[in-house]
Amino acid sequence: MQKQKQTPGRQGPGVAFVLFSTICFSIEPIAAKVAYRGGATVMTTLTLRYFLAAVTFWLLTLAGGCPFRLPRRQLLAVVALSLGTQTPTVLALFEAFRYIPAGMAILFLYFYPTVVTILAFFFLKEPFTWQKALALLLTLAGCAVILGQPVKTLDPRGVILSLTAAFTYAIFLVGSTRLLASIETPVYNACVSTILALAVGGLALTSRQLNLFFSSQALVAIGVLGIVSTVLAMAALMRGVKEIGASRAAIISTFEPVATAVLGFLVLGESLTSWQMIGGAAVLAGVFLQRRT
Asked if 286 contacts 251 with a C-beta cutoff of 8 angstroms, the reply is yes
Q: HSE-up of 9 (CA within 13 Å, CB side)?
A: 0
Q: What whole-number distance in Å separates Cα of residue 20 and Cα of residue 17? A: 5
Q: What whole-number distance in Å separates Cα of residue 257 and Cα of residue 106? A: 9
Q: Among residues 90, 33, 95, 56, which one has the least CA distance to residue 222?
A: 33
Mean pLDDT in runs of 10 for the chain (293 residues)?
Answer: 46 87 86 88 92 96 86 95 94 82 74 88 85 80 69 75 92 94 92 96 91 93 95 94 88 81 71 74 74 55
Q: What whole-number distance in Å separates Cα of residue 171 and Cα of residue 14? A: 20
**What's the predicted TM-score (pTM) here?**
0.83
Q: Among residues 118, 144, 139, which one has the least CA distance to residue 247?
A: 118
Q: What whole-number distance in Å separates Cα of residue 139 and Cα of residue 168? A: 20
What is the reported pLDDT for 9? 47
Name, in order, each residue with C-beta under 8 angstroms of 17's C-beta and a sequence gap of 6 or more: 236, 237, 239, 240, 243
What is the reported pLDDT for 199? 95
Asked if 235 contacts 17 with a C-beta cutoff of 8 angstroms, the reply is no
Number of Cβ within 10 Å of residue 214's Cβ equals 20
